[in-house]
Structure 1
Amino acid sequence: MPYLTVPLGLLALLVAVSGVAAISRGWVLPTHRRHVRTTAIYGWGQLVLALGLLWQLIYLSISSPDLRPLGALIGTTIILAGILVMLISQFTRSSTKDGGAA
C-alpha cells in the first residue's frame, strides 16, 4: 500500500509543520488568516489532526486486517478532535496582541 501511505505521510508532515509554525510564530496559511483568531489554538488543532493522520497511516501499514477498522475509527476520532480544536480557535479571542504566539 505505498500508493496510499506516501501521500498520507506527506500530508501529515505538512499539517504538522503548519501547526508548529502557527504555535511558534503565529503564522497561518493566507487562506485561513481571516478566520483564525487564536493562532496557538489553531496550531494545536493542526498537530492533533496530523497525529490522527499518522495514527491511520500506522494502522494501515503494519496492523493485521482484523485491527484495521479499529485503527481507522480511532484515527478518525482523533482527526475530528483536531478539527474541533481548529474550529474553537475561530471563536476565541487571544489575550495577547499577536494572536497567542509565543
Structure 2
Amino acid sequence: MTRYIAVLLVLLALFYAVSGVAAVARGWVIPMNRRHVRVPRIYGWGQLMVAFALCWQTAFGFSASGTRASGTLIGSAILLAGLIVMVVGQCAGGKRKRGGTP
C-alpha cells in the first residue's frame, strides 16, 4: 500500500470517528444524513466501527508478514459489521425526538 493512499484512509477514518463521536455523545448527524437517520446513537456507533476498520486495514496493509491477509480480512468483517450497524440506525423504528438537532 502506498503512503498517499494510507494518508487518505486515515483522514477518512478521522472524519468518520469525529462524526461518530458527535452522534453518540450529542445525537448530532451531518446535515445531509439527518433525514435518513432515525437513531443517531446507533448510527454513530456504526461510524466508529467503520473508522476503526479503516485504521485496522491501513495498519495491516503495511505489514509484510504473513498476517497481512488475515488482518485485512478481519478489517473487512469489522467494516461490514459497521455498515450494518449504520443501516440499523437508519431503519430502526420510532421517530426522532424534537428536542435535538433539526
With the shorter chain as reference, the TM-score category is 0.7 to 0.9
Structure 2 stretches lacking a partner, 5+ long: none
1:4-56 per-position Cα deviation (integer Å, ceiling 9, x unaligned): 21111111011000000111111111111111000000000000010100100
Match in the other structure for 1:42:
43
Within-5 A mapping of 1:19-98: 19-61=20-62, 63-93=63-93, 97=97
Number of aligned residue pairs: give it: 99
Closer, same or farther: CA 96–54 of 1 in aligned 2, 3 Å: same
- 2: distance between equivalents of 1:31 and 1:97? 18
2:33 counterpart letter in structure 1 = H
What's the RMSD between the two structures over aligned residues?
Answer: 2.1
1:71 maps to a residue whose letter is: G
TM-score by length of structure 1 reads: 0.86
Give ranges in structure 1 of 5+ residues lacking alignment: none
Q: Which of 1 and 2 has higher RCO (CA within 8 Å, sep 6+)?
A: 1
More helix by share: 2
CA distance in 1, matches of 2:96, 2:42: 13
